[in-house]
Structure formats: C-alpha cells, structure tokens
C-alpha cells in the first residue's frame, strides 16, 4: 500500500491523480477488493481488520483531497502566469478609420441647417409615383420627368430620384410653419465621370404664412450656408426651371479652384453650379392641401459638394471603397 501512497504524492497533474483515485477507491478498486475479502476473515479478527481498512480508506481519501487541492493551486498559478498581460508593454498603433468624405460633408451641411432650427426628416427610398412625381407638379407624361432617369419596380413603385418627395411627406404629416431638411441617398440610371446610380442629396423646405416668406429670405439663408461651406466666395442666381418651384433658380459660386479667373474645372466660366432652388409652386401646396402659405425650397448634391471641397475629380472613386482614397481623409 505504501507504494500507492507514494504514487499519490508524486502525481504530476489532476488527470493522473484521478486515475489513481479510481484505482484505489473506485467500485472495482483495490480497497473494494480488500473489503470484499472481509467475509473470509475469522469472526474474531473481523472488527480489527475492518477498522484498519476503514482507517486506510480515510487516510487515502485525505491524501487524495490534499493532493488535489495542491495540484489545482498549481494549475491556477500556471494559468495566471501564462495569461498575464503586461499592460506597460509597447504596442504599435492599430488601424484608424476615418469618416468617408461624403459623410463628413453631409455632417457639415446638417450641422449648418440644424443650427438654423431646421428639423431633419427622412422618407422611404422605395417611393410611389405620387410622392416622387405627381405631388411635385410632375404629372404623368410631363417632359420634365425625363430629367431624371428612373429605376422602376414591376408594381409601379420606384427608387426615389431625388429627396424632394420628403417635402411632400413632411407637409402631409405636419402643419405649417415647417423648416426642414432631408438628407439621404437617391437613385438614377446614370453612370459616368460625374454621375453614379446612387448618390446623396439634401432637400430643404421652409413654409410659413404668406407675409413671412420671400425670395430674399431664401437668398439670405443659401448665401450664409454657402459661405459656411466654401468660405469667401461670390454667389450668383441664374433663372432656371424646376416643376415644383416658381420662380426657380440655380445657384453658382465663384470657382474655388481659380477664384473665378476661369479654369478646366469651371469650364472657363469662373462659376460652379452648386444648388437648385425656388419658391414652392402653388400646385405643390394644392397637392398637399395647404392654403394661404408661402415657401421656399432647395436641393443639392452632397457628392458634388464633397468633390469641390476635397478637390476630387472623378465621382466614381467615392464609391469604389479604395482604402488609398479613404486614408487621405484620416
């Protein structure tokens, strides 16, 4: 038996100890065999032998428990050692991401209009004909629908071609006065140097009673906004046409690349077109059931702003996910 006690003493891990325990104390173990032999012992000897066996069993059990505790402590210590983290160790800086230039430009645009008390509204990307066209004074077969090549679904729904439908949704779910912008993706069947099938717009709309909104208000807010975005530029308004505004205008800033002298980017005109705007057409107010109000609206392309601000010449590079482009904006 001494041999087994030594084995317990020398066990190196919990696994070995467990196999010794089974060998000694298990149902078919050595001690069970010794107890079985009791029936052959002379009755006078039996109590003595049984007592010795019980004492041996108690001794082994105690030894096993002590060894187990010791081995567990050892194992814990080993794990703590091996998993120790040296927090003072030098580690090279990890990879740092950056905001996509379209996102940072959008953030800046939103920041301006929120500071002017405009709310930020959203609408669905899959729109119906009423919100995307009809209510915006673009009846079926109106030639101006061709200005925007549309992705249609089979059920007559479509991918919105501009953020203007959110004007309609906001006017139909709220009451004037309204001051809102609506940023988000829009979709058109277009793909070249300056067009991608998905891009981002910000729509703006202000509606109030007739005596409180004028074209001068529109000029003020857009002028202030463009100076916020582009710094010290000159601004001009060119008469234009949009079905949902009357009168309508396009807004140019003096070319930020040549300061208006004329260069490749501005096609030697000295001007860059950045916005569409106008006074809300009465037909639009009629479509949403508004009376005795006046309003102005504007719409802009976020990628165009981002390209001008960051001097990016090919719009498509913004959507190729090339890390070499994104790394420049860290």
User: In 3D, which of 195, 184, 198 has the Cα closest to residue 299?
Assistant: 184
Quick one: three-class SS letters along 123-170?
CCCEECHHHHCHHHCCCCCCHHHHHCCCCECCCCCEECCCCCHHHHHH
Nearest approach in angstroms of CB 96 to ligand DAH is 35
Q: Which residue has the tokens 């891009």?
A: 199
Q: Smallest distance from the beta carbon of 276 to ligand DAH, in angstroms?
A: 3
17/184 with CB nearer ligand DAH? 184
Mind spelling out the 3-state secondary structure of 65-134?
HHHHHHHHHHHHHHHHHHCCCCCCCCCCCCCCCCCCHHHHHHHHHHHHHHHCCCEECCCCCEECHHHHCH
What 3-state class would DSSP assign to 175? coil
CB closer to ligand DAH out of 277 and 308: 277
For ligand DAH, the closer CB: 35 or 112: 112
Q: Least separation, in Å, of the C-beta of 323 and ligand DAH? A: 31
Least separation, in Å, of the C-beta of 245 and ligand DAH?
4
In the bound state with ligand DAH, the residue whose beta carbon lies nearer, of 149 and 327, is 149
Residues that bind ligand DAH (CB under 6 A): 162, 164, 203, 242, 245, 276-278, 297-299
Identify which of residues 149 and 320 has a Cβ nearer to ligand DAH in the complex.
149
| Min dist. Cβ of residue 163 to ligand DAH (A) | 7
CA dist 121 → 180, 181, 204 (Å): 7, 6, 10
The residue number with the shortest CB distance to ligand DAH is: 299
Angle at 104 between CA 201 and CA 163, to 5 degrees: 10
In the complex, the smallest distance separating the C-beta of residue 148 from ligand DAH, rounded to whole angstroms, is 6
In the complex, minimum distance from the CB of residue 249 to ligand DAH, in angstroms, rounded to a whole number: 8
Give 57 or 219: the residue with its C-beta nearer to ligand DAH: 219
List % helix, strand, coil for the chain (3-state, nearest 5): 45, 20, 35
Closest to ligand DAH by CB, 21 or 162: 162
Q: How far is CA 111 from CA 53, 106, 108, 201, 219, in A?
A: 86, 8, 5, 15, 19
CB count within 10 Å of CB 311 equals 9
Report the alpha-carbon distance of residue 183 to residue 305 in Å, rounded: 13
Nearer to ligand DAH, 164 or 254 (CB): 164
Cβ neighbours of 307 (radius 10 Å): 21
Q: At its nearest, how many Å lie between ligand DAH and the CB of residue 241?
A: 10
């Amino acid at each position: 038996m001494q041999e087994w006690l030594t084995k317990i003493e020398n066990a190196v891990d919990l696994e070995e100890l467990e196999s010794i325990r089974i060998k000694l104390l298990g149902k078919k173990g050595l001690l069970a065999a010794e107890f079985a032999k009791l029936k052959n012992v002379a009755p006078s000897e039996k109590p003595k032998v049984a007592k010795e066996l019980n004492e041996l069993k108690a001794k082994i059990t105690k030894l096993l428990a002590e060894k187990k505790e010791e081995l567990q402590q050892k194992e814990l210590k080993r794990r703590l050692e091996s998993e120790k983290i040296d927090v003072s160790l030098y580690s090279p800086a990890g990879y740092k991401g950056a905001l996509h230039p379209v996102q940072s430009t959008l953030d800046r645009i939103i920041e301006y209009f929120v500071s002017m008390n405009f709310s930020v509204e959203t609408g669905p990307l899959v729109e119906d004909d009423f919100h995307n066209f009809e209510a915006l004074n673009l009846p079926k077969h109106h030639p101006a629908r061709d200005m925007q090549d549309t992705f249609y679904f089979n059920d007559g729904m479509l991918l919105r071609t501009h953020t203007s439908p959110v004007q309609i949704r906001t006017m139909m779910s709220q009451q004037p006065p309204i001051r809102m912008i609506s940023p988000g993706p829009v979709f058109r069947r277009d793909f070249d140097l300056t067009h991608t099938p998905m891009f981002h717009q910000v729509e703006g709309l202000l509606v109030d009673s007739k005596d409180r909104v004028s074209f001068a208000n529109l000029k003020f807010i857009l002028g202030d906004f463009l100076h916020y975005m582009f710094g010290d530029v000159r601004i001009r308004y060119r008469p234009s046409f949009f079905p949902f505004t009357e009168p309508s205008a396009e807004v140019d800033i003096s070319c930020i690349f040549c300061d208006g002298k004329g260069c490749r980017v501005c096609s030697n005109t000295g001007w860059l077109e950045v916005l569409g705007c106008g006074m809300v057409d009465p037909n639009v107010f009629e479509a949403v059931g508004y009376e005795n109000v006046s309003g102005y609206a504007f719409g802009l392309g976020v990628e165009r702003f981002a390209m001008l601000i960051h001097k990016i010449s090919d719009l498509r590079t913004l959507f190729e996910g090339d890390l070499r482009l994104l790394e420049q904006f860290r």
